[in-house]
Amino acid sequence: MKTDAVIFDIDGTLTNSTRAIIASWNRHLSSLSCPHRLLDEETAGSLMGKTMDDWAVAVLPDLPLAEAREITEVMEQKENEEIRTSGTDLYPFVRETFELLSHDYDLFILSNCGKGYIEAVMAYAGIEKYVRGHLCFGDNGLDKPDNLKKMVTDYQLEHPVYVGDTQRDQECCEIAGIPFIFVSWGFGNVPDALYRCDDMKDLPEVIRSLG
């Protein structure tokens, strides 16, 4: 069974956007008259990979979720604008690895992030031309396992693998029936991962080892 597609997580796998997110979100939160909680590195780090509903509850816990989501959707747009103009902290060799992998595999990005975030990071990283498709919670409100299944169906993928950095990523892959490659430089730790990569430059070899 030869791998035909590689699906990437984004936060903790391709980039660490904590700096940009904290700056952008706290700027907007501080302008609100309603009760709110500002983000710090610990809180932002703990929310990476979770749905935007989780982010909304974390910063606006006293508001109904629907109202909190309306506010955080504006914050997501401002965050995307900041990433496009000021950048994000990409991990080393992201663009080079995407270019190399694109010769042999269809590449995708799938995350629980907000709408427009994947596009902003791709633009800053210069990898749009290598990515066949992308999907996130902000696009349709679905959690990662359901979006993984949807992506496999929509693109008729036969033997995809998912590359991510957290235990939750592994659990989502188990639900969706997709092999998981754990990358050790992100936000999580998956000690029992069947496949592991410790350097982005080694990822092509790890993928080839799957068949």
Residues 77 and 104 in one domain: no
* Average pLDDT rounded to a whole number, residues 47-65: 92
Q: Do 136 and 44 fall within a single domain?
A: no
Is there a contact between 80 and 120 (Cβ–Cβ < 8 Å)? Answer: yes
Residue appearing with tokens 């269809």: 106
User: Where does a domain end: 62, 86, 110?
Assistant: 86
* Residue 92: other Cβ atoms inside 10 A: 11
Judgement on whether residues 127 and 150 belong to the same structural domain of the protein: yes
Q: Which helix (H) or strand (E) holds 25?
A: helix 18-29
Indicate the pTM of the whole model: 0.89
Question: Collapsing DSSP states into helix, strand and coil, what is residue 6?
Answer: strand
Burial 45-72 (b: 16+ CB within 10 A, else e): bebbbbbbbebbbbbbeebeeeebbebb
pLDDT of 152 > 90? The answer is: yes
Q: Output the six-digit token pair for 138.
A: 């902000």
Kindly state whether residues 74 and 120 are assigned to the same domain. no
CATH code at position 159? 3.40.50.1000
29 and 104 co-located in one domain:
no
Tell me which of 36, 54, 86 is where a domain ends.
Answer: 86
pLDDT category of residue 146 using cuts at 50, 70 and 90 = very high
Q: How confident is the model at residue 196 (pLDDT cuts 50, 70, 90)?
A: very high
Residues 148 and 188 in one domain: yes
Does 67 share its domain with 142?
no
Q: pLDDT at position 30, please? A: 94
Residues 98 and 197 in one domain: yes
CA angle 7, 10, 15 (to 5 degrees): 135
Looking at the fold, whether 126 and 191 belong to one and the same domain comes out as yes
Q: Are residues 146 and 123 part of one domain?
A: yes
pLDDT score recorded for residue 48: 85
Find out whether 117 and 77 touch, Cβ atoms under 8 Å. no
String of DSSP letters for 111-167: ES--TTHHHHHHHHHT-GGGEEEEEEHHHHS--HHHHHHHHHHHTT-SSEEEEESSH
**Taking the chain, what is the end-to-end CA distance rounded to the nearest angstrom?**
6
Split into its structural domains, the chain has a count of: 2
Domain boundary among 86, 112, 146: 86
Work out the pLDDT band at 49, boundaries 50, 70, 90. confident
> Which residues, in sequence order, are CB contacts of 206 under 8 Å at separation 6+?
181, 195, 196, 197
What residues contact 185, with CB distance under 8 A and at least 6 apart? 12, 91, 165, 198, 199, 200
pLDDT digits (tens, 9 = 90+) for 58-108: 999 999 999 999 999 998 998 999 899 889 999 999 999 999 999 999 999
Its domain, for residue 23, covers 18-86
Q: Looking at the structure, tell me whether residues 164 and 133 fall in a common domain.
A: yes
* pLDDT mean over 21-50: 91
The reported pLDDT for the residue numbered 1 is 67
Strands 131-136 and 15-16: unpaired
Same domain, 56 and 100: no
Give the confidence band of 121 by pLDDT, cuts at 50, 70, 90.
Answer: very high
Whether the CB-CB separation of 187 and 165 falls below 8 Å is answered with yes
Q: Is the pLDDT of residue 44 over 80?
A: yes
Please enumerate in sequence order all residues whose Cβ is within 8 A of that of 46, keeping only pairs 6 or more positions apart, or say none: none
